[in-house]
């Protein structure tokens, strides 16, 4: 009987090598996304170039283009990456909060009271996104998806609170639009460093409105700061 040469180990080795290559590619892609966010925060959306990201990651512009094809794709995916990171942190925090009122309070705190020492930089990034949205279909699509995701995060808490008897039976959609619009407007003032609207006051104003509309007790108290707004 002819002895088998054993091809299975070779196939397994090739699979491991392919998996390692994929992991390396994902790590490099993520590194580029983080670098793009850094440059956007420093220079703004309009002034961020593929060459800047390549230089910051120690790669070539051609390699960045290989992963992202165009500048707009790189920058919009960087913003999605930042948003995904924020929502992952949001989910982690919400798991430890038993009440809907507590979860809503934490959500507003994560928006208004970022732990980053330069909160306005992050809001400036979103102002850039909003400003480019009317003239750039790709950016507009990212903005729309972001707003839909953000409103659903608020709406789901409101509905859970109403089901649990914590919140008044207001129209959840109307409340969601109102709170989301209020927070976006306050974010503009934070980004512009309006002395009348520091982050702490923005937080208190948003919570006073939410508590008044939903009918739950709320008093200003120290809160855990989260990462920057969505």
- Total structural domains in the chain? 2
The boundaries of the domain holding residue 174 are 97-222
pLDDT of residue 94: 92
Strand partners, 226: 114
Section 85-104 average pLDDT:
92
Tell me the average pLDDT across 103-108.
94
Say whether both 66 and 104 belong to one domain. Answer: no
State pLDDT tens for residues 116-129: 545 566 777 888 88
* Residue at 7 is within a domain: no
Lowest mean pLDDT among 92-96, 135-139, 178-182, 225-229: 225-229
Q: Where does residue 203 rank: exposed (0-12), middle (13-18), buried (19+ CB within 10 A)?
A: buried
Question: Are 200 and 133 contained in the same domain?
Answer: yes
Given pLDDT bands bounded at 50, 70 and 90, which one contains residue 229? low
Measured CA to CA in angstroms, residue 165 lies from 99, 173, 215 at distances of: 11, 18, 10
pTM above 0.95, yes or no: no
Binning pLDDT at 50, 70 and 90, where does residue 18 land? very low
Of 85, 117, 145, which marks where a domain is finished? 85
Q: Is residue 8 part of a domain?
A: no
| 161 and 115 housed in the same domain | yes
pLDDT of 154 strictly over 50: yes
Last residue of a domain, one of 85, 113, 139: 85
Quick one: what percent of the chain has pLDDT higher than 70? 82
**Does residue 188 form part of some domain?**
yes
């Amino acid at each position: 009987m002819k002895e088998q040469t054993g091809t299975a180990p070779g196939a397994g080795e090739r699979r491991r090598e392919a998996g390692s290559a994929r992991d390396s590619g994902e790590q490099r892609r993520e590194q580029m996304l983080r670098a793009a966010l850094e440059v956007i925060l420093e220079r703004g959306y309009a002034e961020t170039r593929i060459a800047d990201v390549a230089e910051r990651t120690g790669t070539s512009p051609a390699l960045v283009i290989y992963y992202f094809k165009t500048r707009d794709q790189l920058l919009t995916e960087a913003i999605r990456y930042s948003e995904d990171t924020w929502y992952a942190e949001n989910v982690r925090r919400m798991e430890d909060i038993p009440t809907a009122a507590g979860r809503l309070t934490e959500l507003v705190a994560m928006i208004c009271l970022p732990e980053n020492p330069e909160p306005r930089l992050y809001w400036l990034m979103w102002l850039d996104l909003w400003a480019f949205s009317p003239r750039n279909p790709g950016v507009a699509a990212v903005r729309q998806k972001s707003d839909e995701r953000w409103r659903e995060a608020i709406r789901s808490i409101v509905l859970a609170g109403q089901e649990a008897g914590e919140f008044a039976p207001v129209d959840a959609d109307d409340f969601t639009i109102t709170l989301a619009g209020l927070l976006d407007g306050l974010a503009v003032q934070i980004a512009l460093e309006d002395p009348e609207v520091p982050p702490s006051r923005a937080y208190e104003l948003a919570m006073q409105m939410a508590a008044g509309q939903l009918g739950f007790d709320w008093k200003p108290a120290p809160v855990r700061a989260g990462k920057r707004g969505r």
